[in-house]
Structure 1
Amino acid sequence: MNIKFKAFILLFVLGAMLAPSCKKGFEEINTDPNTIAAALPEALLTPALWDVVTRNNNRALRINNELMQDHVTTTDNDEIHRFVIRPAESDYMWNNWYLQLTNFKDMYSKSSELNNKTYMAIALICDVYVSSLLTDTFGDVPYSDANKGKDGIYQPKFDTQQSIYLDLFRKLEEANTLLASGNALTLEQIAYDPIYGRNLPTGTTAAVGSPIVINSWRKLGNSMYLRLLMRASGRPEANAIAKMQEIVSNTATYPIFTSNTESAVIRYTATPPYTSAFYGGRLIDFNGDNGLTEFFINTLNSWNDPRRAKWATIDGGTYIGIASGYVRGSVPERRSTYVGDLMNEPLLGNIINYPELQFILAEAALKGYITGDAKAYYENGVINAITFWGFTPPADQLNNQDIKWNAAEDLNIKMEKIHLQKYYTLFFTDFQQWFEYRRTGHPNLPKGDGLQNGKQMPSRLVYPVYVQSLNSNYSAAVSVFGADDLNTKVWWNK
């Protein structure tokens, strides 16, 4: 390796490692007059997790929501809705996810030095969250050697997705064990928590708030565990089905979400520091040339779903969408668009929520992975997916013919019902709609005549171009993983 080349890599890695994790508005909460706030685990948590979720929102709008027909662009040369994703799209999330992984790993190291089990566990859960996004988006990625620039590893090897998933499971096991006997939190530490600390009633004491926050994180970790176990459930070597059964049948050891209030959401505000990805922008920039699709709108219309008022504008006295995957040169006139208030919507900071968990359990029960009533889980998900957004479901919601659970219907129809509901539950939740579609083929998205890529939904994003050029382990990685293109399936999808 020549000196200039090595110097470039070193500068790049150091830039990622040393880039400040604090964002505008976080300076005050990261300032401690008695010590260096950035060294405290709780001070690393807030800006790093906020940054991940906020940037995920940005790319949910840019990539996921167009691929998955939440909306479609009316700009003819933007072809994500036609299943054309340019390599340059990969850089944004790859760079950010690895940057924040450095913060979460530093958070774990510092917590370990302080022998703080609670923050060790929270750091592990955040690590799993971001690492799962990386591998579910790209497949095999640098993992065991990643974020080690300070150790002189500038070209990390790629790990297989199977080995990554098994280690993610290990980390979630460790997090659950650590939180079972976690360190009590002070009021100051509770105030730093961007998810659960902010939602406690004013005046909550540390003695009351600490166990609530710790148990909430434990439920978050185990609910995320079930998300990833379900994703790997088609691979026998993952032993995912047996673990799902163990968790669901032993919630004293593995507590999971039991209500909407326990959902993991960074609730955005209209004032800094907890602002959304779209805060301060113009409505025209948020909506761009996007119109909501026929698939997205027509399904909500058939359900008489009250969430339409929060998500979609009215056009000509009704909610109306346009076709996705249209033929080049046949640009439709857009109709309903995203409501402007979504730009500052608190619930867009969703990480994983209670209704999603109910649909995971409904699928698991339907397939016989766990004991339980698939219908009960499904119906609980349907109702809570609406109340999560602050609406009261229509009185006949569960008897709507497009929603009603029919025991006589075959597995495929029931899977479609579960995942159609789950699709809306995952609204603006990073790339989860896309991940689940790749895993299951549900919901049944219409395929327009203008689709490219053989009308095949992309199975991943390609590696960033600079990774191909600068990491000498790239060639070895693709020789194991497969061709670096949009259609190579990841491990859990093979």
Structure 2
Amino acid sequence: MKTLKFLIAGFLVCVLSSCSTNFEEINTDPNNLEQITAGSALNPILYELSTHNALQHRNIGAQLMQMFIPNEDNTNAVFYYDFVQNIGGSTWNTYYSELTNIKEMEKAAVRDELPNYEAIALTLKAYAFSILTDCFGDVPMLEAGSAEEGDWFPEFTEQETIYTQILEDLERANSLYDTDQAMPYVSDILFHNDVAKWQKFTNSLHMRLLLRTVNRNASAYTELAAIANNPATYPVFTGNDDHAVLQISGEAPLLSPWSRPQDFNTFRVYNAFFIDHLKEFEDPRLPVFATEAMGLNNERYGYIGLPIDFRNDPVADSIATVSGPRQQLAIAPLIVPLLSYAEVEFIKAELGQRGLIINEQEHYENGVEAALTMWGVDVPDSYFDNTATAYDGTLERIILQKYFALFFTDYQAWFEHRRTGLPQLPVSSDMKNNREMPSRLYYPIDEADRNNQNYKAAVERMGGDEINIKVWWDK
């Protein structure tokens, strides 16, 4: 496309003036690639998806899951389930933009016979489509990204079909990896061209998405157990050294998503649900995540969160400010988790709790420890002596700790809540939507307008474009 643009520009010059015979040579831009390589696309894709995820966790995921919320203007408050129509617009646009780049990356990998890059492209495609379909339900997939072929109005693909495809893509990706074949392009910003770690990411993502389908996919638990019990064929994350957590250094191009760190935490406070549980855990992440509550005369009150029903359950008059997110969370160096080792261990703990694999307590404790150390804190020797943190054999205990492990991880805690109903979150008398946790985001206004015929077909099939419409795996 870039070559074509330069040729068109050159043609217009020739029309208006004389032109030499070496037209194409003099009108080739030496600073632009005529063909992308599989490696040239990878780092921009990783950075754009990761930084967008961090922004949307703050704007939507953390609010829905009562982690931290705005404490000023509560109009259209996400934590009150009061969604504006275009709440998902930026996620839709960002992910489809990057899916176009992933498609080009995949084509380049196939063209140049680079199976590791093809496997990575398949993995990132599955990752991106999983976020989109879990946010919205049916979305364009099979015809998406085909504008250059003249398909400007793609049909929406049913979510069940999307999941079938992405699970097949992850299976194929795992079979393509060749750890004896080096990745020849510039070091990628996530795994630094370590093929074995990329393969672990593929299979760890496979576990996440299989788990999401267990209420609708009769074979999902069996397939999960097969992956968990066969690390030779399906290697997954085995420690924090190999999980998918982007390290934002602060040096270009790895800049913080927040050019103004005050935009991250100004007018935002932690919910009591989040703070109270960490206090009950005697959790060393508290000072990493939160500031202390302050009195009217700057007295320190320790860590106090704002109740979700703060109008009817206010904090003490002596408290001027409750605990808020630490600005340091948005100042590089910082981390943006895509999929952590802790999450993999909690998946295994759930499989164990359901009797499908052994050592569920060990996996639970591994998950907790990994979630803590991911944030640079040591695990106290007595951490599991606490009755609030000791493994008690229940799914509730696993999902509660998984909830904290998913802090800063895009929409995943919300997706897990929709799948399990856990953890049980308090409600507020000010909540909209009949105090019911939304099940999806509205389709973006632009998509409903420009692709109206296919939008209407999807809405009719799903039963409406409302936030309480259940997606396929949530039924």
Q: Is TM-score (shorter-chain normalized) higher than 0.5?
A: yes
Separation in 2, partners of 1:384, 1:164:
31
1:232 aligns with 2:227: no
1:380 aligns with 2:380: no
Per the alignment, residue 24 of structure 1 pairs with: none
Q: Which of 3, 26, 45 is 2:42 aligned to?
A: 45
Identity of aligned residues (%): 35
Once the two structures are TM-superposed, the CA of residue 72 in structure 1 deviates from its matched residue by 2.1
Once the two structures are TM-superposed, the CA of residue 337 in structure 1 deviates from its matched residue by 0.8
User: Which structure carries more helix by proportion?
Assistant: 1
Once the two structures are TM-superposed, the CA of residue 106 in structure 1 deviates from its matched residue by 0.5
Per the alignment, residue 215 of structure 1 pairs with: 196
1:335 aligns with 2:322: yes
Per the alignment, residue 294 of structure 1 pairs with: 272
Q: Which residue identity does 1:125 align to in structure 2?
A: T
Per the alignment, residue 268 of structure 1 pairs with: 248
Say which SS state the counterpart of residue 177 (structure 1) adopts: helix
Separation in 1, partners of 2:395, 2:49:
30
TM norm structure 1: 0.85
Separation in 1, partners of 2:74, 2:445:
25
Separation in 2, partners of 1:34, 1:183:
30
Q: Which residue identity does 2:195 align to in structure 1?
A: I
Cα deviation code 1:273-317 (max 9, x no counterpart): 111211x3042x211311111011111111111111211011224
Q: Which of 353, 358, 371 is 2:345 aligned to?
A: 358
Q: Is the 8 A contact 2:271 2:308 kept in 1?
A: yes
Say which SS state the counterpart of residue 266 (structure 1) adopts: strand
Q: Which residue identity does 2:374 align to in structure 1?
A: F
TM norm structure 2: 0.88
Correspondence list, 1:178-217, <5 A: 178-180=176-178, 183-186=181-184, 189=185, 191-197=186-192, 213-217=194-198
Q: 1:134 to 1:325 in 2, by over 3 A?
A: farther
Q: Which of 139, 158, 166 is 2:156 aligned to?
A: 158
Q: Is the 8 A contact 2:42 2:188 kept in 1?
A: yes
Per the alignment, residue 466 of structure 2 pairs with: 485
Cα deviation code 1:213-250 (max 9, x no counterpart): 0010000000010000000011135x212211211121
Once the two structures are TM-superposed, the CA of residue 420 in structure 1 deviates from its matched residue by 1.0
Larger-gyration structure (1/2)? 2
Q: Which of 304, 308, 311 is 1:320 aligned to?
A: 304
| Structure 1 gap ranges (5+) | 1-13, 15-32, 198-209, 408-413
Instruction: Compare 318-327 and 392-401 and name the one that shifted more.
Output: 318-327
Q: Which residue identity does 1:152 align to in structure 2?
A: G
Q: 1:36 to 1:466 in 2, by over 3 A?
A: closer
Q: 1:356 to 1:402 in 2, by over 3 A?
A: same
1:281 aligns with 2:260: yes
Cα deviation code 1:302-334 (max 9, x no counterpart): 111111121101122411110124459989964
Say which SS state the counterpart of residue 236 (structure 1) adopts: coil
Separation in 2, partners of 1:261, 1:119:
21
Say which SS state the counterpart of residue 390 (structure 2) adopts: coil
Separation in 2, partners of 1:78, 1:136:
22
Q: Is the 8 A contact 1:311 1:338 kept in 2?
A: yes
Separation in 1, partners of 2:251, 2:341:
27
Q: Is the 8 A contact 2:179 2:195 kept in 1?
A: no
Once the two structures are TM-superposed, the CA of residue 180 in structure 1 deviates from its matched residue by 3.8
Q: Which of 171, 174, 189 is 2:172 aligned to?
A: 174
Per the alignment, residue 79 of structure 2 pairs with: 81
Separation in 2, partners of 1:142, 1:240:
24
Separation in 2, partners of 1:474, 1:327:
39
Q: Which of 115, 118, 139 is 1:117 aligned to?
A: 115
Once the two structures are TM-superposed, the CA of residue 78 in structure 1 deviates from its matched residue by 4.2
Q: Which residue identity does 1:195 align to in structure 2?
A: L
1:423 aligns with 2:403: yes
Q: Is the 8 A contact 1:259 1:354 kept in 2?
A: yes
